[in-house]
Chain A
Amino acid sequence: MKKNSIVKTTVVILTVMIVALTFMGCNKKNSADTSLKGTKLALAGSTSMEKLCEAMSESFMEKYPEVEVTVEYTGSSSGIEALIKKSVDIGNASRNLKQGEKDKGVVENIVAIDGIAVILNNGNSVSSLSKEELIDIYTGRITNWKVLGGNDEAIVVIGREAGSGTRGAFEEILKVDNKCAYAQELDSTGAVKAKVASISGSIGYISLDAVDSSIKSASLEGVAATEENIVNGSYTLSRPFVMATLGDVSSQSDVIKTWFEYIRSEEGKKIVSSVGLVLPQ
Chain B
Amino acid sequence: MNSRAKIRLGENVAHHIFTTSALMQIFAVFSITLYMVAKGAPAFIKVGVPELLFGTQWQPTAESPSYGILFIILSSIVGTGASVLLGVPVGLLTAVFLTEVSDKRLSRLVKPAIELLAAIPSVIYGLLGLMLLNPVMYRLEKLIFSNSTGHQFTGGSNLISAVIVLAIMILPTVVNVSVSSLEAVSPNLRASSLALGASKIQTVFKVTIPAAKSGILTGVVLGIGRALGEAMAINMVAGGSVNFPLPFNSVRFLTTQLVSEMGYAEGLHRQVLFSVGLVLYIFIMLVNLTLLRLRRKETE
A residues neighboring B (CB under 8 Å): 1, 3-4, 7-8, 10-11, 47, 50, 73, 140, 143, 154-158, 161-165, 168, 177-178, 181-187, 195, 198-199, 201-202
Instruction: Kindly state the separation between the CA atoms of A75 and B34 in the bound complex, as whole angstroms.
Output: 32
| Chain B proximity of A15: nearest CB distance (Å) | 12
Q: Are A165 and B264 in contact (CB under 8 A)?
A: yes
Q: Is the CB of A3 within 8 A of B154?
A: no
Whether A184 lies near B259 (C-beta < 8 A) is: no
Taking CB atoms, residues of chain A closer than 8 Å to B156 are 199
Q: Return the contact of A7 from the options B10, B157, B250, B264 (Cβ within 8 A).
A: B10
Report the minimum CB–CB distance from B232 to chain A (whole Å).
11
Contact A178 B62 (CB under 8 A): yes
Interface size on B, residues (CB 8 A): 41
Return 27 A-B CB contacts under 8 Å, by A number: A1-B3, A4-B10, A8-B13, A50-B264, A73-B266, A140-B152, A154-B142, A154-B153, A156-B154, A161-B261, A161-B263, A162-B60, A162-B265, A177-B62, A178-B59, A181-B152, A183-B153, A183-B154, A183-B155, A183-B241, A184-B154, A185-B260, A186-B240, A187-B259, A198-B134, A198-B135, A199-B156
- A residues less than 8 Å from B239 (CB atoms): 183-185
A3–B153 contact, CB under 8 A?
no
**B contact residues around A184 at 8 Å (CB):** 154-155, 157, 239-241, 250
B155 adjacent to A162 (CB under 8 Å)? no
Among A3, A47, A73, A161: residue with most chain B CB under 10 A: A161
Most buried by A among B142, B240, B265: B240
Q: A163 vs B258: C-alpha distance in the bound complex, in angstroms?
A: 12
Residues from chain B with a CB closer than 8 A to the CB of A161 are 240, 260-261, 263-264
Q: Which of B10, B59, B134, B152 contacts A3 (CB 8 A)?
A: B10
Q: How far is the CA of A8 from the CA of B12 in the complex (A)?
A: 11
**CB–CB A187/B235 < 8 A:** yes
Which of A163, A182, A187 is the one whose CB lies under 8 Å from B61? Answer: A163
Q: Which B-chain residue is minimally distant from A48 (CB atoms)?
A: B264
Query: Across the interface, which residues of B come within 8 angstroms of A199, CB to CB?
Result: 138, 155-156
* CB-defined contacts of B157 to chain A, threshold 8 Å: 183-184, 195
Q: How far is the CA of A215 from the CA of B240 in the complex (A)?
A: 21
Residues on the B chain within 8 Å of A195, using CB: 155, 157
